[in-house]
Copies of this chain bind each other. A is one copy, B any other.
Amino acid sequence: MRKIVIGVMGPGERATINDLQNAYKLGELIAQQGWILLTGGRNIGVMDAANKGAKSLDGLTLGILPSSKEDGISEAVDIAIFTDMGNARNNINVLSSNVVIACGMGAGTASEIALALKENKPVILLTDDKESKNFFKKLSPENVYIVESALDAIATVQEYLA
């Protein structure tokens, strides 16, 4: 009965418009596949956009919050896990995702990618940032997948799960 959980990680405050569009699209596509969307659960940036995309197509959304309280949680989160662990919850995000999709880049996102790679989880990078691609691809050539669009990201997840 175990459900497939796909994590979408990305910047909060510093997300670009492109990141937000990709995140919304990823949320839609994940919902369409019948997968559960996992994010960091906050009402900002990539987290919020991905959750809204998933809910627009009746997906189920799981938010792993850094706090213990309702404040700052995305309205599009169905199930909230309150960790009260700050950024240490990033490790739970990646451990609980079958595949991690990084949408955009920032310090928090970088920590999630690195923690995922430490656990040999597959990570799909959807970013324009050249230094990110070079760094993570060198860090773990076998587990990092570089893609150019949300559609490519989902196709890569499908291949991996198959």
Contact = CB atoms under 8 A, between A and B. Distances in A.
Contact of A79 (B62, B75, B76, B106): B62
B3 A78 contact: yes
A114 B111 contact: yes
Interface string A93-109: 00110000000011110
A87 B83 contact: no
Interface in A115-132: 115, 117-119, 129, 131-132
A88 interface: yes
Q: Interface range on chain A: under 10, 10 to 19, 20 to 34, or 35 or more?
A: 35 or more
Contacts of A87: 84, 91, 115, 118-119
A90 to B, nearest CB: 8
A55 interface: yes
Contact of A64 (B61, B81, B115): B81
B107 A139 contact: yes
A129 B135 CA distance: 9
A44 interface: no
Contacts of A105: 139
Contacts of A61: 1
Contact of A88 (B1, B76, B92): B92
A95 B68 contact: yes
Contacts of A135: 110, 131-132, 134-135
Contact of A78 (B1, B106, B110, B118): B1
